A and B are shown apart, each in its own frame.
Chain A
Amino acid sequence: MIEVDIESLGVRGLNERFHRLPPDTNERAWKLTNPKGAHALAVGLDRPLTIEIDGHVGYYCGGMNKQAEITINGHAGPGLAENIMSGVVRVKGNASQSAAASGRGGLVVIEGDASSRCGISMKGVNIVVGGSVGHMSAFMAQAGHLVVCGDAGSHLGDSIYEAVIYVGGDVASLGSDCIEKPMTEKHRAKLKRILAAAGVSASPERFRRFGSARQLYNFKVDHAAQY
């Protein structure tokens, strides 16, 4: 395990050190201390690293991640794991707004609560939130799964495309073109796999499924004259 004090190395020094690692690096296990809310920690990684960060992180931690498994022992600021491609970003505490925004793949686990706009414009990432999410979550979500074990704030899934949302608690309100859909055995099995991958224990039986009514984004020939 390689230990790095973020305050003494600086954010740029830290990220450069990660980016210089060769594909077959042996320096795979890292522990970062003293984040003190710094922005853009461990961003743009493309190596199978295991990184633990002790403390609270600022904006964009784990952004654009590929392959790496990043665990934050604290809370995360806005834009956690933004545009994640693969790998895992896990927060033991809460995450601020726009967590996993536009993520294309991989897994983002927020063990506490996530704020507003969680999973905004997600494009394939799986997101598991142990607690609740704020308003406008999964706004314009295109693909992937958002799993919320607690409650969802207002306008959930507004203008959603083909992403799937599972909610264990209450939903304050649904956004435009987002509807509840039947929860079949197939969906429960899928949800069980995602929860297991996230290491979050929750019974799939109590979840409801939400997705697109497909009335908003489909081209309709009846309306051709209006375009």
Chain B
Amino acid sequence: MCGIVGLFLKSSALEPTLGKHLSAMLSALSDRGPDSAGFAIYRNPAPRGSIKLTLFHPEADYGWDHLVRELSEETGTSVRGEPRGSHFVLTAAMPVETARHWLSHHRPDVRIMGVGDCIELYKEKGNPRDVVRRFRLNELAGSHALGHTRMATESAVTTQHSHPFSTGLDLCLVHNGSLSNHNRMRQWLGRHGIDFQTDNDTEVAAGYFTHLLGEGATLEEALKSGISDLDGFYTFAIGTKDGFAVVRDPIACKPAVLAETDEWVAMASEYRAIAHLPGAERSRLWEPSPATVYSWKKH
């Protein structure tokens, strides 16, 4: 089953309440995905020359302060961070590869959940209502966000196997469905330099889009290629630094509803998740057509 949600704000007036609204959307779809939940939220751009990494370690009292101090001292750069539940958002004045390299050598047990200028990515096992509470999603402001409630059918129930998946800078993907050609695709992408952290099918789709975007495709072009290259059932919602998109496979078994007002665009597996947004009853409401890309971009 699974539930997916996305909320893209067209007006900055609602930005302080983005987390509150996304939290309500995820909670409304708890019974579609009680195994785990996660969300990616685009907020607080890192200063020029800096990068933001969302990190995870399963130990409740992990020594994040020590990590910040050590990384800062060894690289001679400014590093700061903020814990949020089991995750830690690190902002570091260094290239992405430097941060990745340092972490893989000095903290190999720390997982990198998402990397970019704006993205913060949180996910964990447990009922979505509890997960959003643990991460205090309610209090987060931002410009757009995606979320997922998972009923696992395809791979293990762990934090790492939860959605969203991010394989590229500021890119993330949530998925309702299952892919059937992900093993072959993972091998092919691996040969093209895309790294995967799990055996999950959705991570392959995220890697596929990362690869095409890296080759210069626009988000819309990448998604259109996906319709012919990715085999299986899917409704995808995709977030980038300044964009948001939705696409369904040609059979379109997996549900999706889109709603739009002058203030926001919302996507969800079911209208229940949208019903409580401000002005929902007056929104333009439609079911996205099969094999059709819908996308929005910040002006």
Contacts and interface: CB of A to CB of B under 8 A. Distances in A.
Question: What is the interface of chain A mostly: helix, strand, loop, or mixed?
Answer: loop
Given A55-B281, A135-B290, A75 B271 contact: yes
A36 B271 CA distance: 7
A97 B281 CA distance: 21
Most buried by B among A56, A59, A116: A56
A75 B276 CA distance: 16
Contacts of B285: 56, 75
A38 B290 CA distance: 24
B26 to A, nearest CB: 15
A65 to B, nearest CB: 21
A96 B289 CA distance: 11
Contact of A56 (B252, B271, B290): B271
Contact of A37 (B252, B272, B287, B289): B272
Contacts of A134: 252, 289-290
Given A55-B281, A97-B252, A97-B255, A37 B290 contact: no
A58 B285 CA distance: 13
Interface residues of A, number: 18
Contacts of A37: 270-275
A115 B276 CA distance: 24
Interface in A91-121: 94, 96-97, 115-116
A78 interface: yes
A87 interface: no
Contacts of B296: none
B287 A36 contact: no
A113 B255 CA distance: 16
A77 B290 CA distance: 16
Q: How big is the B interface, by class? A: 10 to 19
A115 B251 CA distance: 12
Interface string B270-299: 111111100001000111011000000000
A116 B255 CA distance: 11
A11 B253 CA distance: 25
Given A77-B270, A78-B255, A56 B275 contact: yes
A75 B272 CA distance: 12
Most buried by B among A37, A96, A135: A37
Interface string A25-58: 0000000000011110000000000000001101
Contacts of A75: 271, 285
Nearest to B28: A37
A77 B271 contact: yes
Given A96-B255, A97-B252, A116-B252, A58 B272 contact: yes
Contacts of A135: 252, 290
B5 to A, nearest CB: 13
A55 B281 CA distance: 8
B281 A96 contact: no
B268 to A, nearest CB: 9
Interface string A54-71: 011011000000000000
A77 B272 CA distance: 10
Given A75-B285, A97-B252, A97-B255, A36 B272 contact: yes
A75 B285 CA distance: 9
Interface string B234-272: 000000000000000000110101000000000000111
Rank and list the top 6 A-B pairs by shortest CB-CB distance, nearest first. A37-B271, A37-B272, A36-B275, A37-B275, A56-B271, A115-B287
28 contacts: A36-B271, A36-B272, A36-B275, A37-B270, A37-B271, A37-B272, A37-B275, A38-B272, A39-B272, A55-B281, A56-B271, A56-B275, A58-B270, A59-B270, A77-B270, A77-B271, A78-B255, A94-B286, A94-B287, A96-B255, A96-B257, A97-B252, A97-B253, A97-B255, A115-B287, A116-B290, A134-B289, A134-B290
Interface of A: 36-39, 55-56, 58-59, 75, 77-78, 94, 96-97, 115-116, 134-135
